[in-house]
Amino acid sequence: MQILDGKALSLKIKAKAKEDIKTLKAKGITPGLAVVVIGDDSASHTYVRMKEKACEEVGIYSIIHKMPDDISQDKILETIGMMNKNPNIDGILIQLPLPKHIDTTKVLQAVCEKKDVDGFHPFNVGKLVLNLDTFTPCTPLGVMKLLKAYKIEPKGLDVCIVGASNIVGKPMMNLLLNANASVDICHIYTKELKAHTKRADLLIVGVGRANLITKDMVKDGAIVIDIGINRLENGKLVGDVAYDEVSPKCSFITPVPGGVGPMTIAMLLENSIKAARSR
């Protein structure tokens, strides 16, 4: 069993990002990232602080728009419109989830597709489906980079993705289809989940349910990517995979923390640099 070390790989990506940004700055371009975070969700604010710190480390100018939970949708759209027009802002990120009174789809569609570093705009989603160059959602992109770094070729693999969200599951499916894998995607209405997971050469899980995947659900020698992150009552962070019992059966597995999480932030930096280059 080999651990897929996302933390170590993300440090290499950050080092390269730092050099890329130096090159851009020599041309008079400082990449700029704006983040909109609404309400007091502690997890959202933690993620935003991590993104802000990563930007600072590599030399990306970042600005955080903190808004109260009861802010109107019109005010959010007005702020996004302002950032769309700002030539110093290359990327715009809307921290999800949004409060229930806000139409998430409308807000995401308001972001200029050329500044959509999260890859959530329908324009970029469509390009991803067609296997065209675009902004790809950071977590699935991070998974693909991790597989590549460890010379894991998806072509011809039987893949099972557990979780069909627009943020992770669906773009992950499209990336793997584009890489010529055979993809099976499961969700809350899937019957007999074990029947799907047990067949997978590559099992990717991202639903936010601690220890959902147990050893009897995993094929011997499988590659397991755990995207979930959950905090137990004792404060411990765990994934969606029961790591201690599943890992001995795997050829490769990601830890939680230290697996996919650091890669997500590294991909945000890459997407922000990509946006800056298109100025």
Q: Which residues are catalytic?
A: 51, 95, 118
* Helix residue spans in the chain (DSSP H): 6-26, 42-58, 73-85, 104-110, 122-129, 138-149, 169-178, 193-197, 243-246, 260-277
Phi, then psi, of 162 in degrees rounded to 5? -105, 110
173 CB burial (10 A radius; 0-12, 13-18, 19+): buried
Is the torsion defined by CA of 252, 258, 264, 267 positive or negative?
Answer: negative
Which residues are paired to 223 by β-bridges? 202, 252
The Cα 33–Cα 8 span in angstroms is 24
DSSP code string of 47-99: HHHHHHHHHHHHT-EEEEEEE-TT--HHHHHHHHHHHHH-TT--EEEEPSPPP
Using DSSP's 3-state secondary structure scheme, residue 271 falls into helix
